[in-house]
Amino acid sequence: MVVLRGDTVMRSIVLLLAMAGMICGCDQFNNMSPGQKGAVTGAALGTGIGMVSGGSFGQVVGGGLIGGAVGYVGGSAIGNR
């Protein structure tokens, strides 16, 4: 039996929430604007990179927020061309 410690539990919860968000986002992906698609992709990448690099809970959430913001700006710029 695997026993999870405090940090591992928080990371697991964040990963599950990120996965749930991606699933919900992918369901509506075809109806999204380019900016929204960029935000979903950027948030997923930012959260994933934060998790893989072993960051703390705050760093992982921050990575997701920053990735989402950058993705939205990038997607909007590409969509306006």
Q: Where are the domains of the chain?
A: 33-81
Q: What is the pLDDT of residues 18-60, one digit of tens each?
A: 777 777 766 666 788 888 888 888 888 888 888 788 878 888 8
Cα 54 versus chain centre, distance = 15
Is 42 within 8 Å of 74 (Cβ atoms)? yes
Instruction: Report the distance separating Cα 48 and Cα 75, nearest Å.
Output: 19
Q: Is the full-model pTM beyond 0.85?
A: no
3-state secondary structure of 63: helix
What mean pLDDT is predicted for residues 7-16?
A: 78
CA distance 43 to 72: 9
